[in-house]
Structure 1
Amino acid sequence: MRTLFIYLIVLPLCLGSVRAQSTLLDTYLEEGLANNLLLQEKNLSLDRALHAVQVAKSMYLPAVDLDVAYSHAKGGRSIELPVGDLLNPVYNTLNALTQSQAFPQIGNETINFLPQNYYDAKIRTVMPLLNTDLGYNQRIKAAAVKLQENEVEIYKRELIKEIKSAYYQYLTAIQVREIYHSSLALAQEGLRVNQKLLDAGKGLPAYVIRAQSEIAGIEAQLADAEKSIKNAGLYFNMLLNREADAEIFEDDMLAKDALWSLQNWGEVDASAREELSSLETGIAIQESVLKMNKQYMVPKISGFFDLGSQAEGLKFNEDSRYFMVGLTMKMPIFQGNRNRLKVQEAKVDLASSRNKKAQVEQQLAMAIGVARNEVLAALKNLDKSKVQLETAGTYQRLIQKGFAAGVNTYMETIDARSQYTQAKLAETVSKLQILSALANLERESATYQIPQ
């Protein structure tokens, strides 16, 4: 009836998600989301993407630059101006007519093309008037922010699943150690009883040796359990970015077998997965790139305004100061068919993105189905392990009573105790499998409400 009840609840609801989390585990999850180093790195990448959007918006604003150039040259190309040859005869005539030297002789001039002691300082303001690339670039950068936000959410979900699994693994290792401690106490009691029987002349040395061997085997298993606890604790604390030896508290709800709660919220699907949202955003980016490439014939027009001064000899006066206003236009005429090829390339990329989205949708649906089946199998295994544990416990009690009455041998008590220990371990592992399977299903269906 118990199994039937589970199937009647779980199958129609497609398993729902684990939402009744304990307060302690929720606290650990919040600590992990706040302190995990890799998550902090992804948040920094998100900040970088947000700044890139601001840069894209600033491209619409005018750019003002100070441009200063100084040059000094000698030699090079020059031009001869025969000023003296042209004017000196005239000056001689004028001096003769005026009987004075009011018009002195002048020499010919040589003008160099390269300026000497020349400067040009200006403040240039450039304003884009028509540039379709700026708008598409801004939309692409905004979409990149959405992609990075999805990356952060995706990692958060993975981190939540890993923290849960690590915590369940740690608690399971604790319970396994307790099981071995109980088994060791029973084995030590068996050694004590057999030693007393041997001392009284009613026991067998083989039973004492066998009891000592059993104790040694359990102690070795205890050492492995202690190692598992330490390794699980190290991994759990690493996920939360805590000290390696930080104390991990046990959850009372988990310890009391209140291990999970399935909530009725309808059919499970992959529509909430951030991966699909990222693929849709990627398709939108490819569409923007395609539209941008198609408008390669639209001219790019900018206006500029220069306010400056230029002169030789570092002069600064009314003659050196100037301003200039103008427009620049750039439009491709012939570029070896590169622009049309870019359009075709963008179309192929867009088709590839859409195909990839369809593939991922199939893969995610399959992953949810597999996760659902894992939960069902884990539920079955737990139900069977509880029956096996109950049977093994009853068998052990009967054999122990029979041994005390002299009906059963000591070897039969060891076998019964081993069966009970294995059954208890199987039940503990089954609980871990259910918790891990539910955490995986919750991850695959993206149903955990991540705190913001």
Structure 2
Amino acid sequence: MFSRILRLICFSTVLIGFGYEAVAQDQALQDYIAQGLKNNQGIKQQGLLLERNMYALKEAKTFFLPEVNFSTSYLDSRGGRKISIPIGDLLNPVYSSLNALTNSTAFPQVENVNQTFNPRNYYDAKFRTSLPIYNAEITYNTKIRKEQINFQQAEVDVYKRELVKEIKLAYYACLQADEAIRILESAVSLARENVRFNQTLVKNDKAIRTVVSRSENELIGLQAKWEDAKNQAENANAYLNFLVNNSLDTKVNLQKRDQLIVEADSSAAGRREELLKLESLYKINNLSGQLAKAAAMPRLATFIDLGSQGEFVKFNGDTRYYLFGVTLDWRVFASNRTQYKAKQAQLESQATGEQISQVEQQLQLQAQTASNRLKSAVQIFQAARSQTALSQQYYQDQQKLYREGQLLYIELLDAQNRLIGDQLQQSISYLNVQTRSAELERAKASYVFSN
């Protein structure tokens, strides 16, 4: 039974050398990372936001292109202001004289005209095609949209790197929970063997009944811990499945521990996406300042109207028209509004620049701290492995003495509990090495995403 535990520990322990980095090359883990990057719901959300920004850029570019709009209106009125035109007073005396001279009625009398200002039964329908010739605001808006895409892309990459770290930690937690189950399973088997052996001793009057009761209670306690370890494993498996967007009860594929290879991470540190985000934000603030200044610059555009206007339902050569024009819009005075907006953008850029310097130092500190933590974790794991080996030898010696009747059961039980505790501690310390390794990889941004 003891040799079985020894083999389990030897197979489950992976030798880790000294160094600042350690990366586990586990194909099952890499498969989960690839699946998470493809199916994780958070990644999909970030991808949709990136796609939205791309369409925003396409929208901004359309402002350089012609725009065609159709508009129509119909007007009908009664009353209102009028203008009197004395056509009758002017023409009727002349017409009367002409009728008298010609002895005819060829020139009839006309009434004075009262014309209202408001149109009556009038429509106007037209297609207007407009095209900007010069508008600096459109140019800077387009540049801002482009930079917002870079900002969102960096946001996506930040989420991806964080997801990779979380998947690794979840996978390592599953491995550690599985290892704890194996250790406690072996411990339960060992406790059962002790119960059987103690019952034989009592039966042969070589030990008192208390020894059996104590060993049975110890078995019950180990079985409870075993069941708790199984529940912890289920929780760890469910979290990993959640990260990769699987059903929570999907069985996790864990690569056997003796197949793992741990080696130094020789990849160079990458550029942290958090800095790329801030750099994009800095550029956006600068462009916003230029956009504010562009509001004071002239805007030149041209347009052409093709339409028809006249009495309602009439459409002919007299009603059709075209109108071509060029417009110039130049804000001459706005109480320094443009300067104030430009100053705001300038101060935001300066604040972002200071934030970049601060974040650079924070990230350097994070990487250095993660490196030191990994070094400490490796040393703790090696100490735990050495302690476990010592506990194994101690338990083996104590078990031999107990079977020869030269040791109390409580002393054997103490050696057994120490061995189980050291085994679990070694498993935990190995998980801690893997965790610190993933944290260092995240701090260095050294994980390379496959295309």
Q: For 1:96 and 1:258, locate their aligned partners in 2 and report how far apart those are by CA, in whole Å.
A: 126
Give the corresponding residue for 1:256. 258
Give the corresponding residue for 2:306. 307
1:274-331 Cα offsets, whole Å, 9 max, x none, are 1111111211122222223334432111111111111123321222111111111111
- Is the aligned partner of 1:156 residue 2:160? yes
1:127-167 Cα offsets, whole Å, 9 max, x none, are 11111111111111111101111111111111111111001
Q: For 2:441 and 2:285, locate their aligned partners in 1 and report how far apart those are by CA, in whole Å.
A: 31
Give the corresponding residue for 1:126. 130
| TM-score with structure 1 setting the length | 0.93
| TM-score with structure 2 setting the length | 0.93
1:265 shift after superposition: 4.4
What is the 5 A alignment of 1:201-240? 201-240=205-244
Give the corresponding residue for 1:101. 105
Q: For 1:313 and 1:104, locate their aligned partners in 2 and report how far apart those are by CA, in whole Å.
A: 30
- Is the aligned partner of 1:138 residue 2:142? yes
Give the corresponding residue for 1:418. 417
Q: For 2:225 and 2:321, locate their aligned partners in 1 and report how far apart those are by CA, in whole Å.
A: 91
Give the corresponding residue for 1:336. 335
Give the secondary structure class of the aligned counterpart of 1:59: helix
- Is the aligned partner of 1:66 residue 2:70? yes
1:206 shift after superposition: 1.4
1:176-206 Cα offsets, whole Å, 9 max, x none, are 0111111111111111122222223222121
Give the corresponding residue for 1:42. 46
1:35-88 Cα offsets, whole Å, 9 max, x none, are 001101111111111111111111111111111112222222222222223222
Q: For 1:260 and 1:55, locate their aligned partners in 2 and report how far apart those are by CA, in whole Å.
A: 50
- What is the one-letter code of the residue matched to 1:331? W
Q: For 1:336 and 1:50, locate their aligned partners in 2 and report how far apart those are by CA, in whole Å.
A: 36
Is the 1:382–1:430 Cα contact (8 Å) retained in structure 2?
yes
Give the corresponding residue for 1:383. 382
1:221 shift after superposition: 0.8
Give the corresponding residue for 2:438. 439
Is the 2:267–2:446 Cα contact (8 Å) retained in structure 1?
no
Give the secondary structure class of the aligned counterpart of 1:67: strand
Give the corresponding residue for 1:367. 366
Give the corresponding residue for 2:246. 242
What is the 5 A alignment of 1:264-279? 264-265=266-267, 268=269, 272-279=271-278
Q: For 1:97 and 1:105, locate their aligned partners in 2 and report how far apart those are by CA, in whole Å.
A: 15
1:227-285 Cα offsets, whole Å, 9 max, x none, are 11111011000101011111111112xx117352213346x5xx511111111121112
- What is the one-letter code of the residue matched to 1:262? A
1:17 shift after superposition: 5.7
1:226 shift after superposition: 1.1
Is the 2:241–2:248 Cα contact (8 Å) retained in structure 1?
yes
Give the corresponding residue for 1:83. 87
Give the secondary structure class of the aligned counterpart of 1:256: helix
- What is the one-letter code of the residue matched to 1:71? L
Q: For 1:211 and 1:187, locate their aligned partners in 2 and report how far apart those are by CA, in whole Å.
A: 7
Aligned length: 436
Give the corresponding residue for 1:184. 188
Give the corresponding residue for 2:279. 280
Q: For 2:314 and 2:116, locate their aligned partners in 1 and report how far apart those are by CA, in whole Å.
A: 19
Identity among equivalent positions (%) equals 36
Is the 2:28–2:255 Cα contact (8 Å) retained in structure 1?
yes
Q: For 2:199 and 2:83, locate their aligned partners in 1 and report how far apart those are by CA, in whole Å.
A: 124
Q: Structure 1 stretch 211-220 or stretch 417-426: which is displaced more?
A: 211-220
1:356-382 Cα offsets, whole Å, 9 max, x none, are 000100110111011101100110111
Give the secondary structure class of the aligned counterpart of 2:331: coil
Q: For 1:69 and 1:445, locate their aligned partners in 2 and report how far apart those are by CA, in whole Å.
A: 65
Q: For 1:146 and 1:21, locate their aligned partners in 2 and report how far apart those are by CA, in whole Å.
A: 32
Give the corresponding residue for 1:194. 198
